[in-house]
């Protein structure tokens, strides 16, 4: 389990995060929800080390775990084709052709092979999101952080992504932010409601029962 204690963060003297304390269960799907501008993205950036902070619990998390933060805006190699980029990521992570084939099979409903030889600069937002997701699942980090993974995906791909989270959480700890709450609660193991820079409530699934998670979702819809 990842434990974050007393996380505070300010930008330009303005508090963004205030005394955040929460747990991310190991090998599970945790969703961080809340209105725009409450610090969800900042939280992921701090946990991944993209933003630096002097906090013992965050520093310990970064040292102990192989963490990957995913954002399709990080796809900067626009001259590469999808295949070339996948091969590059695989090479960096010492993965082989079979690893790629297995993950491509798991992502088959998202039709990556339709744009496998297209340059990244020519991809649509939805295709870039699929490629970003693919590389994250391919590398299988200890902890995978993703800001709004359902954004820009078609309905079929959104549903398949829910199934992928459910399958891959046997090996990966997921922490995501999302506004796509429809039918997601059955896949979620923990739900954190962030409001005005503070954790308002965290709930957990208990033995497959959505203990409190529906409350958090309904509370979020009211914000």
CATH code for position 217: 3.40.50.300
- More confidently predicted of 116 and 218: 116
- If asked whether residues 155 and 117 sit together in one domain, one would say no
Q: Are 201 and 216 in contact (CB under 8 A)?
A: yes
- If asked whether residues 123 and 156 sit together in one domain, one would say no
- If asked whether residues 94 and 158 sit together in one domain, one would say no
pLDDT per position as a tens digit, 202-213: 988 865 445 456
- If asked whether residues 61 and 97 sit together in one domain, one would say no
Checking if the pLDDT of 66 tops 90, the result is yes
Q: Are 162 and 188 in contact (CB under 8 A)?
A: no
- If asked whether residues 181 and 84 sit together in one domain, one would say no
- If asked whether residues 194 and 220 sit together in one domain, one would say yes
Residue 42: which of 76, 77, 14 has the closest Cα?
Answer: 14
Q: What is the pLDDT of residue 93?
A: 97
- In DSSP terms, 122 is beta-bridged to none
Write down the mean pLDDT value for the chain: 91
- If asked whether residues 5 and 61 sit together in one domain, one would say yes
- If asked whether residues 163 and 192 sit together in one domain, one would say yes
Question: Half-sphere exposure of residue 37, counting CA atoms within 13 Å on the CB side?
Answer: 2
CA dihedral (110, 115, 117, 120) positive or negative: negative
End-of-domain residue from the set 116, 139, 162: 139
Count the domains in the chain: 2
- If asked whether residues 157 and 215 sit together in one domain, one would say yes
- If asked whether residues 182 and 221 sit together in one domain, one would say yes
Q: What is the pLDDT of residue 75?
A: 83
- If asked whether residues 121 and 172 sit together in one domain, one would say no
pLDDT per position as a tens digit, 147-204: 999 999 999 999 999 999 999 999 999 999 987 566 788 899 999 999 999 999 998 8
What is the domain range of residue 163? 1-66+141-223
Q: What is the token pair recorded at 188?
A: 């979620």
Q: What is the token pair recorded at 93?
A: 């992570």
Q: Are 175 and 44 in contact (CB under 8 A)?
A: yes
End-of-domain residue from the set 139, 154, 188: 139
- If asked whether residues 54 and 12 sit together in one domain, one would say yes
Question: Half-sphere exposure of residue 202, counting CA atoms within 13 Å on the CB side?
Answer: 16
End-of-domain residue from the set 139, 154, 174: 139
């Amino acid at each position: 389990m990842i434990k974050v204690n007393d996380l505070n963060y300010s930008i330009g003297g303005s508090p963004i995060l205030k005394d955040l304390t929460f747990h991310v269960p190991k090998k599970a799907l945790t969703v961080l929800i809340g209105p725009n501008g409450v610090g969800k993205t900042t939280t992921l950036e701090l946990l991944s080390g993209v933003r630096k902070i002097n906090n013992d619990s965050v520093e310990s998390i970064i040292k102990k775990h192989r963490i990957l933060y995913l954002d399709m805006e990080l796809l900067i190699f626009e001259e590469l084709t999808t295949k070339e980029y996948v091969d590059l990521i695989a090479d960096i992570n010492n993965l082989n052709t079979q690893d790629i084939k297995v993950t491509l099979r798991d992502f088959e409903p998202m039709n990556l092979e339709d744009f496998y030889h297209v340059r990244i600069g020519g991809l649509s937002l939805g295709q870039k999101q699929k490629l970003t997701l693919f590389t994250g699942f391919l590398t299988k980090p200890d902890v995978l952080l993703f800001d709004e993974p359902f954004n820009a995906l078609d309905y079929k791909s959104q549903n398949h992504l829910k199934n992928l989270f459910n399958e891959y959480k046997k090996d990966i700890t997921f922490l995501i932010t999302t506004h796509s709450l429809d039918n997601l609660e059955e896949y979620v193991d923990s739900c954190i409601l962030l409001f005005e820079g503070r954790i308002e409530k965290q709930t957990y699934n208990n033995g497959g029962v959505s203990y409190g998670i529906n409350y958090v979702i309904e509370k979020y819809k009211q914000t």
